[in-house]
Amino acid sequence: MQELLNREKITRKILIVDDEFIERAILAKMLDGLYEIVYAEDGVKALEIIRRDKLKLSLVLMDLYMPELDGHSVLKIMQADSELRRIPVIVLTAEENAEVKSLQAGAADFIKKPCNQPDVVRARVKHSIELAEDSIIIHQTERDTLTGLFNKEFFFQYGKLLENKRDHAPMDAIILDINRFRIVNELYGQNYGDEVLRKIGGTIHKLVNEVGGLACRVNNDIFFIYLPHRNDITAKIQEYISMIEDTLENKKITFRIGIYRDSSHAGEKFEMERKFDFAKLACRKLRNTYTTRFNFYNEELRKKEIHSEQLINDIDKAISEKQLKVFYQPKYNISGDKPVLTSAEALVRWVHPEFGFINPGDFIPLFENNGLIQKLDIYVWKEAAAQIKSWREKFGVYLPVSVNVSRVDIFDPMFSEILSGIIKENEIEPEKLLLEITESAYVDNAGQIIDSVSRLRELGFKVEMDDFGCGYSSLNMLTALPLDALKLDMAIVKDICVNQKAYRLVAIILEIAKILEVPAIAEGVETIEQLNLLKEIGCDIVQGYYFSKPLPADEFEKFFS
């Protein structure tokens, strides 16, 4: 940091405010060559410049008596503004007793007019600037106590200073995120977790010091690293990874690294924050890998990001204009001689005016990340409930329909009220609107989900655990979970005819369902062989292309005849 704030190297900008031209000229002459100087001839103009250049100004030298807005008023306005307050102001006046008054009003220092001692002026200006810069540092806890790295706020502040100092030469943004750090903490304990962070932080610290960069730690287990750009970054990253791995000596700890290479968009210059957004995106692409890997931000990711942003912008309109279509896929009970239609699953599709038909896999994860999923889900629940009602009235078929429930929905304190409202409005029983909750949701916040789901079941709703068998929930927890059906993950069902292990796994899950006294539902069933095998080993309910793809409501009605 000493290096960063190297006071000789950065030319600071100061503002001289005086209504008399001659006074401005005298001061400018004294400070010429030492600072970049801008001028204002009254308080109003001064404030304009101060607001415009608030991040760049290091000091204001200001006369107290001026037309329009005087120095006292400018000081007062600056003091009331948290962003402007950090800029030190030295007041200039001939009036004897203005000194105390202006210091009390927040001035950093005071110079008596006429200003005829250049050395005094220069010393006071320099001193005030240094004091102000030091106090920013002292007033905020700039470093992370665990690793000695900067905290995020300072990281970006100093990053910008460093960019200035380097004349805006390219700098690469790198994000390092530890894979499943929560599990590291759980497995080895918090102290060990802290030790891991300290070691990684220490290595990164050493590295950035060597190459003249900066680093910080955010959100516990994520490191931001800002380094002067180099063409051989790919090779270097490998080297950095080895350095970190060597200090850790625990092969089980792995990380993912996202990199924004500051040369990838020739001609385009991005702000530091934006570069880290890009690096984050590259890192996020590695989310489901559990080995150490790195990934560069590129054009393709950029296009995807723009596409995602557009979808996020369009969702409200999609709901109000009914661009979202709910499709229904039948579930059949296969325990008897002939398959019997037992229910349907509501699956959303988006018919976008520009992009056409979009599958949920391309937009659901996007909305899960930012909470927008709740709007979408509620819309689908309402549509599904209305459909149950309509089929009942039209065909006399009172078919249960399952809807998907996202993690975000469950944490809304109004969750059960919303659902109750929907079934009441459509005059259907709660057990007709089945709720599918994915297995991984249970694992993340078991306690809260159990409470929430228990409430729903008391109200008469039925809950199916979706995607079961991905290997997240522990078996002993299963008995504590309130649920009414186990829905096997499609990935294991897919392989039952070709892979002995998958077959055994499905058989075991069916056993578990028996112990829990709930039906098992297999989805993704595409062939008669899969169907027969599932039937043989006691699977009750089946969903999949073998019977039908998800269909629009009117086409689904063919199953009623």
Q: Which of 262, 377, 383, 464 binds ligand C2E (CB under 6 A)?
A: 377
Identity of the residue, 537 or 551, whose beta carbon is nearer to ligand C2E in the bound complex? 551
Q: Using CB under 6 A, which residues numbered 396 to 455 contact ligand C2E?
A: 404, 406
Q: How far is CA 135 from CA 87, 141, 452, 533, in A?
A: 11, 11, 49, 73
d(CA 203, CA 246): 10
Chain Cα centroid distance, residue 72: 44
* Contacts for 491 with CB less than 8 Å, ≥ 6 apart: 469, 470, 524
- Sequence letter at residue 327: F
Q: Which of 42, 467, 484, 540 binds Ca ion (CB under 5 A)?
A: 467
Per the CB < 8 A criterion, the answer to whether 335 and 534 are in contact is no
CB-facing half-sphere around the CA of 200: CA atoms within 13 A? 26
Partner from ligand C2E, Ca ion, none contacting 544, C-beta within 5 to 8 A by type: ligand C2E
Residue span binding ligand C2E (CB under 6 A) among the ranges 17-25, 443-451, 457-465, 520-528: 520-528
Partner from Ca ion, ligand C2E, none contacting 361, C-beta within 5 to 8 A by type: ligand C2E
Count of residues binding ligand C2E (CB under 6 A)?
Answer: 23
Q: Which of 23, 63, 172, 466 binds Ca ion (CB under 5 A)?
A: 466
Identity of the residue, 205 or 382, whose beta carbon is nearer to ligand C2E in the bound complex? 382
Rule CB under 5 A: is residue 142 a binding residue for Ca ion? no
Q: Using CB under 6 A, which residues numbered 283 to 302 contact ligand C2E?
A: none
- From the CB of 366, what's the least distance to Ca ion, in Å? 18
Rule CB under 5 A: is residue 439 a binding residue for Ca ion? no
Rule CB under 6 A: is residue 380 a binding residue for ligand C2E? yes
Phi/psi of residue 225, nearest 5 degrees = -130, 130
Identity of the residue, 189 or 471, whose beta carbon is nearer to Ca ion in the bound complex? 471
Rule CB under 6 A: is residue 526 a binding residue for ligand C2E? yes
- From the CB of 192, what's the least distance to ligand C2E, in Å? 35
Residue span binding ligand C2E (CB under 6 A) among the ranges 81-89, 253-261, 391-399, 524-532: 524-532
- From the CB of 541, what's the least distance to Ca ion, in Å? 13
Contact map string, positions 482 to 511, toward ligand C2E, x by CB under 6 A? --------x---------------------
Q: Using CB under 5 A, which residues numbered 382 to 411 contact Ca ion?
A: 404
Q: Name the strand (E) or helix (H) holding 331.
A: strand 324-333
Q: What is the 3-state secondary structure (H, E, C) of 401-429?
A: EEEEECHHHHHCCCHHHHHHHHHHHCCCC
Rule CB under 6 A: is residue 553 a binding residue for ligand C2E? no
**Buried/exposed code over 445-475 (b: 16+ C-beta within 10 A; e: otherwise):** eeeebbebbeebbeeebbbbbbbbbeebbee
Q: Which of 214, 347, 434, 521 binds ligand C2E (CB under 6 A)?
A: 347
d(CA 29, CA 63): 17
Identity of the residue, 284 or 349, whose beta carbon is nearer to ligand C2E in the bound complex? 349
Phi/psi of residue 47, nearest 5 degrees = -60, -40
Q: Using CB under 6 A, which residues numbered 181 to 240 contact ligand C2E?
A: none
Phi/psi of residue 403, nearest 5 degrees = -120, 155
* Contacts for 545 with CB less than 8 Å, ≥ 6 apart: 524, 525, 526
* Contacts for 54 with CB less than 8 Å, ≥ 6 apart: 83, 84, 87
- From the CB of 406, what's the least distance to Ca ion, in Å? 11
- The residue whose two tokens read 């199953």 is 559
Rule CB under 6 A: is residue 369 a binding residue for ligand C2E? no
- Helical residues (DSSP H) of 426-540, grouped into ranges: 439-444, 446-458, 475-478, 490-494, 500-516, 528-536
Rule CB under 6 A: is residue 373 a binding residue for ligand C2E? yes
d(CA 349, CA 551): 10
Q: Which residues bind ligand C2E (CB under 6 A)?
A: 329, 347-348, 359-361, 364, 373, 377, 380, 404, 406, 466-467, 490, 523-526, 543-545, 550
Interface residue list for Ca ion (CB under 5 A): 404, 436, 466-467
